[in-house]
Structure formats: C-alpha cells, structure tokens
Amino acid sequence: VKTQVGIIGAGPAGLTLALLLRKHGIEAIILENRSREYVQSRVRAGLLEQNTVDIYKDLGVADRLLREGLVHHGVYLSFDGQRTRIPFGELTGGRNITIYGQQEVVKDLTDVWLAGGGQIYFETPALKIENFETNNPEIHFEHGGETGVLKCDFVAACDGFHGIGRKTLPPDTYREYTVTYPFSWLGILAHVAPSTEELIYAYHERGFALHSLRSDKISRLYIQVDNTEHIDNWPDDRIWEELSIRLGTEGWTLKTGPIFEKGITPMRSFFTDNMQAGRLFLAGDAAHIVPPTGGKGLNLAVADVKHLADGFVGYYQKNSAKALDNYSATALKRIWRAQDFSNFMTTLFHKQDQHGSFQYQLQKAKFDYIKLSKAYATTIAENYVGLPFEAFE
Ligand code: FAD
Ligand code: DHB
C-alpha cells in the first residue's frame, strides 16, 4: 500500500489531519489499532475551544456539532461553596467554548472521511516505523493475522500516549518531562438534566468536583479521588452524595439520575521538547498529556495537526519545507501555554494538602483575586477559550 502521508491513529488528531490534507488535495491513509465501534464509544473529553470549532466549520464537518453542541459564554468557579462566574464574551472579545462529546467528534470525522472515499484500516496495529530518516519511510502493520507495509512520503504518528510514534523518535533528539499528580478523576455520565447551564469547577475541603454536561438530558460530572481508589468502592449513591456536597452552594441543589458510565482516570502532565525526526512527526497525545482540568487535551491535538497540515501544504504545494521543519517549534509554543494553564487549573481546584494549609491559603488567595481583578479573570478566560493561532505567531 502507498500514500503521501501515512497516519497512525484514528483519534481526533489523526482524523482531523486526514481531513485537513484532503482539503488541500494531499493523500493520506489511516491505520487504527482498534475497531470502529471501540474508537467511537470511548468516552473522554467534551470541551471544544473556539479554534477547534472554527477548524471543523471550515472543513465542513460541523453540521451536527453546530446543531447539538452547547455553546457556553461563561464558566462558574466555586471555592468553599462560594461561586463566581467568568464571562467569556466581554473578556475575550466574543470568543467562547462548545460542549460536544469527543466520541461524537470522532464519529462525525470518521463518517465524513469514509464518505469522501478516505481509507481507515481498523483493527490494524502499526508495529514499527522504518526509514523515516530517508525519503521513503515505511509503516509496518498487522491486519487480520497478516503483516503489511504502508509506504509513504511522511509518517504522522497520531497514536496517543501508548502508541509507537514517540518510542520510535531517536532518544538523543528529545528530552521528556513527566509529572504524576497524587490524585485521579472519577468521571460519570448520567441520564439527568444538568443542574447548571454552564460548567462548574469546584474546590472543596473534600476535594475537587466538576459539573459538565452533554445535552439537556445527559450530565457529565467528575470528582477527585485518590490514585488507589477502585471504582467498585463507588456505588451511585456515594458518587451523587459527594458531588452534591462538593459542588454545593446556598440555594442550589444537584439533580441526580441513573449513571450509565463510570471510570477512573489518573492525572499526569507529560511532554517532549521535540516532536519530529526526519520524516516522522508526532501530534496530539503521542507527544503530550495535560491533566484534564481546563479541557485542553483534545484541543491541543487539533492545534498540532493544524500546524502539521500547514507544513505538508507548504511542502507539496509551495515547494517549501520551512513550515514542516519548524513544526515542533511552532506547536510547542501553544503546548507549553496549555501545560501551564492545565497545571494552574489543576492546582487551583484540587485538594493537595490539608484544608487550611499554606497551599490551601495560596489557592484561596488566587480565587479571591479572580473575584476582584478583571485582569486576572481575563487571563483565565483567554486561556480557557483558547488563544487564537495568531497570538503565537
Ligand atoms: P487518541 O484519542 O488517544 O487517539 C490515538 C489513536 O491511536 C487511538 O484510536 C488508538 O487506538 C490508536 N493507536 C494507538 N497505538 C496504535 C498503533 N500502534 N497502531 C495503530 N493505532 C494506534 N481531555 C480533556 O480535555 N478532558 C477530559 O475529560 C479528558 N478525559 C480523558 C479520559 C481518558 C481516559 C483519556 C485517555 C484521555 C482524556 N482526555 C481528556 C484527553 C483527550 O481525550 C485526548 O487529549 C485526546 O483523545 C487526544 O487525541 P489524540 O488523537 O492525540 O489521541
Ligand atoms: C469536560 C472535561 C474537562 O476536563 C473539562 O475541563 C471540562 C469539561 C467534559 O468532559 O465535559
């Protein structure tokens, strides 16, 4: 098999890249380890930045997103039961976020890619990437018990944190950074109308909680738990009770309903300071993980492939390898910003030390400052909705 750009991974990064390349007449084929059903039922993120929505509109894949996605113009922050609202519109010149589940994004992108004649080899793990230091890289894969080779001009490893792309980068080309946080998120989806029209991020002496949503009938909520916690220790009643205490504020009650999805996700920050070697390029979770507080993971993956697609367009259509050569440097500016913001949101709202400790007082001082300073609130708002691409140029 032969193509121009061989893409490993049919997550948000791989699918978005494929569609961006198609728009510019560049060929791509996607290899995906898992089945189509598995990829489309994987419940993960749900917050789309303005940039992400704009890219999907431009690609013509946003019909359902615009119909079913929920546009939010603000966010609630809560500390010790006191709630304040950050309005995006007036602080960011009208930018906002859209709530729409990642698995819906993946479904939409897959449908459009396949309907336009695109190919995805599902249940086809990439086994190794060879010759990426030459002009003829190869991706060796397995499909239905047989091995095969995808020959391409370039390899885009969009294969997530556990993929083979990063492991293939020569060790002397990058440094990596990892932080493991001493807590995890227990996330649920429930058949119940959201108890809020906008998201609520809360610090409470019992730990962090987040109220998000998926539709007017489905709520998505998270609580901070210890890394050693097991989901079996969390019957539905216990989860609702904890959520309602942590998110609570005077005169407000949390509506509860049947939980139909539960999972625990550990939290980490990870990143490499180089995302390319020869004709191999990494994008999305393959190159970096941010803790989920602030909802940056999916949006970073989309921003990476926007830059990568610009690089390929330069190479194939403008006879210039400059943007491709600078891909890592360009993408890393936003990645560092997102690492900092995700870390900021995580440390502000999670219980890290005893309630009342020095660390707690710093968290509280920040929260109090958000309420009195438009400048500080603006900093949070502009990072939360996502800085425009031009900001980093
Ligand atoms: P992925 O979505 O991981 O896609 C990579 C794809 O590559 C997968 O489909 C995988 O099957 C495939 N693959 C891997 N190895 C191979 C191989 N060898 N050959 C072929 N295919 C391969 N972000 C938030 O903002 N908020 C959240 O609440 C949130 N929750 C999360 C919960 C979980 C459990 C996880 C894992 C992530 C969460 N994230 C969240 C992060 C967000 O979902 C990711 O940042 C986003 O999925 C990144 O997209 P991606 O395309 O880079 O990687
Ligand atoms: C969601 C997840 C996040 O990590 C976040 O910061 C906001 C929303 C969500 O799944 O809806």
- Is the predicted ipTM greater than 0.85, yes or no? yes
* Identity of the residue numbered 150: L
Q: Assess whether the C-beta atom of 285 lies below 6 angstroms from ligand 1.
A: yes
Determine the Cα–Cα distance for residues 293 and 391; give it in Å rounded to an integer: 22
Task: Give, in degrees to the nearest 5, the angle at Cα 91 between 86 and 97.
Answer: 65
pLDDT per residue rounded down to tens, the chain (393 residues)? 999 999 999 999 999 999 999 999 999 999 999 999 999 999 899 999 999 999 999 999 999 999 999 999 999 999 999 999 999 999 999 999 999 999 999 999 999 999 999 999 999 999 999 999 999 999 999 999 999 999 999 999 999 999 999 999 999 999 999 999 999 999 999 999 999 999 999 999 999 999 999 999 999 999 999 999 999 999 999 999 999 999 999 999 999 999 999 999 999 999 999 999 999 999 999 999 999 999 999 999 999 999 999 999 999 999 999 999 999 999 999 999 999 999 999 999 999 999 999 999 999 999 999 999 999 999 999 999 999 999 998
Q: Which ligand has an atom closest to residue 123 CA?
A: 1
Residues annotated as part of the active site: 72, 201, 292, 296, 384
CATH architecture designation of domain 2-50+64-70+101-178+268-350: 3-Layer(bba) Sandwich (3.50)
Determine the Cα–Cα distance for residues 81 and 77; give it in Å rounded to an integer: 10
List the chain domain ranges: 2-50+64-70+101-178+268-350
Number of the ligand 2 atom closest to the C-alpha atom of 187: 10
Q: 199 C-alpha to center of ligand 2: Å? A: 8
Q: Which ligand has an atom closest to residue 102 CA?
A: 1
Please check whether residue 377 is in contact with residue 91, taking contact to mean a CB–CB distance below 8 angstroms.
yes
The residue whose CB lies within 8 Å of the most ligand 1 atoms, and thus the one to mutate among 15, 16, 30, 33, is 33
Q: Assess whether the C-beta atom of 294 lies below 6 angstroms from ligand 1.
A: no
